[in-house]
Amino acid sequence: MKNILDLTRQELEEEIAPKFRAKQIYQWVYQKGARSFDVMSNLPKAMREDLAQKYSIATPQILNVEVSKDGSKKYLLGLEDGHTIESVLLPMKKEQRDEKGNIIKEARYTVCVSSQVGCKVGCAFCLTAKGGFVRNLTPGEIVGQVLAIKEDNKIPANRRVNIVYMGMGEPLDNLDNVAKAIKIFSDENGLSISPRRQTISTSGLAPKIKKLGEMNLGVLLAISLHAVDDALRQKLMPINKAYNIESIINAVKEFPIDQRKRVMFEYLVIKDVNDDLKSAKKLVKLLHGIKAKVNLIYFNPYPGSPFQRPSEEDVKRFQKYLLDHGILCTVRESKGLDISAACGQLKEKSNACSI
Ligand code: SAH
Ligand code: SF4
């Protein structure tokens, strides 16, 4: 049976008649949280029965949740074929109430989604890489992560969240399905999440960055840079042999980006590997002429990991150098440190438990 979450509204319109029913189905599934066709009271009964014969509305199954002190929640989700993936709910802003206790501003959330089971890229610091690559996620499996998490947290179906493609997998290695998920998320009859609220994070597949740009979807781009010279980057991220730093920077320079927005460069700070001021200096040079924002991430160690967490002092010094040289730079204290929230870490734990 086909999962209806796999279909963009245009695709659904091609499969059913009359076309306008696709909008209604979208509204039911994404705005009213319907999980069966039976409840879609403005569709003719015969149509509801017909739809139920052909399609499922299948979201991944929640197998495990870990809640961090900072409020982020890490989910281990089961897919229909038994494989597991991870997604994280990150509270960004708390709700605000007036003195009478009425909500004046809703809470804001970001959901970090996976795009593949495993990953082919094989970065030395990443736990997801250890399990190798299994398969691409379908558009519905990407979209379903957000539906399952919203439901579990009683976030109303029609409330917008931000999306970051920073979970397991390399989104640009599954570009067709990720592009469909972007469209499904942004459909105004569905979740209505503007592409400007969706960030694709990539290890730097230069030709695919170009292709994504040509698709003109309007999404934001984050580059997992992590190193400023090719020799070191190659050691950390073998993909750098195929697409070196220069090729990535060139692809970024051509990428269409909203005038008000910036390309994000993620820099995983690893103790005694890339936490020195010489690297900071090189980074400033590299980003010359790009509307960039740097996000420094503390490396989050795991049992047996070959690297160590950097000192706060070194990270702050690195940040100060960038700021002093006119580069916007934030530090991300690995959210959910106590629940091992970097990609792949919950899955790995659950595997260890089942042995
Ligand atoms: N494959 C894509 C997106 C998923 S990886 C990419 O690499 O950009 C998501 C993020 O998790 C990456 O920025 C990566 O640097 C980070 N990450 C991986 N292992 C980590 C660890 N041990 N500690 C902290 N961040 C980690
Ligand atoms: Fe894949 Fe990203 Fe992990 Fe590298 S950091 S192995 S690209 S998921």
CA of 126 to the centre of ligand 1 (A): 6
pLDDT tens readout for residues 203-235: 999 999 999 999 999 999 999 999 999 999 999
| One domain for residues 275 and 198 | yes
343 is catalytic: yes
| One domain for residues 203 and 303 | yes
Phi-psi domain of 77 (left: phi exceeds 0; alpha: psi -120 through 50; beta: other): beta
Q: What is the pLDDT of residue 259?
A: 78
Ligand 1 neighbours (beta carbon < 6 A)? 125-126, 166, 170, 201-203, 224, 266, 268, 297, 299-300, 334, 342-343
CATH of the domain at 28: 1.10.150.530
| One domain for residues 16 and 86 | no
| One domain for residues 10 and 98 | no
| One domain for residues 74 and 196 | yes
Owning domain of residue 132: 61-354
Q: Where are the alpha helices (DSSP H) in 167-216?
A: 175-186, 206-215
86 is catalytic: yes
| One domain for residues 130 and 75 | yes
CA of 166 to the centre of ligand 1 (A): 7
Work out the pLDDT band at 351, boundaries 50, 70, 90: very low
pLDDT tens readout for residues 29-43: 999 999 999 999 999
Neighbouring-strand partners of residue 75: 65, 87
Q: What is the pLDDT of residue 354?
A: 30
Number of domains the chain contains: 2
| One domain for residues 183 and 210 | yes
Nearest CA to ligand 1 atom 22: 300
Q: What is the pLDDT of residue 92?
A: 85
Q: What is the pLDDT of residue 337?
A: 55
Q: What is the pLDDT of residue 355?
A: 27
Nearest CA to ligand 1 atom 1: 170
| One domain for residues 51 and 66 | no
**Tokens representing 209?**
């960055």
Question: Which ligand 2 atom lies nearest to the CA of residue 126?
Answer: 3
Last residue of a domain, one of 56, 74, 90: 56
Q: What is the pLDDT of residue 246?
A: 98
| One domain for residues 49 and 170 | no
pLDDT tens readout for residues 238-277: 999 999 999 999 999 999 988 788 999 999 999 999 999 9
Question: What is the C-alpha to C-alpha distance for residues 96 and 98, in angstroms, rounded to an integer?
Answer: 7
Phi, psi torsion values for 73, nearest 5 degrees = -125, 130
| One domain for residues 49 and 188 | no
Nearest CA to ligand 2 atom 3: 126
- As a whole number, mean pLDDT of residues 4-30 equals 97
Last residue of a domain, one of 56, 80, 100: 56
CA distances to 167, 208, 209 from 171, rounded to whole Å, are 9, 10, 11
CA distances to 36, 152, 200 from 340, rounded to whole Å, are 35, 20, 22
Last residue of a domain, one of 12, 38, 56: 56
Residue pair 74/88 in contact (Cβ under 8 Å)? The answer is yes
Q: What is the pLDDT of residue 353?
A: 33
Q: What is the pLDDT of residue 214?
A: 96
DSSP for 235-261, please give it. HH-GGGGTS-HHHHHHHHHHS---TT-
Question: What is the C-alpha to C-alpha distance for residues 66 and 211, in angstroms, rounded to an integer?
Answer: 36
CATH of the domain at 200: 3.20.20.70
**Tokens representing 134?**
């299994």
Q: What is the pLDDT of residue 335?
A: 56
Neighbouring-strand partners of residue 96: 105
| One domain for residues 225 and 177 | yes
- DSSP classification of residue 43: S
Given a cut of 70, is residue 338 above it in pLDDT?
Answer: no
Residue of 86, 141, 170, 348 marked catalytic: 86
| One domain for residues 37 and 163 | no
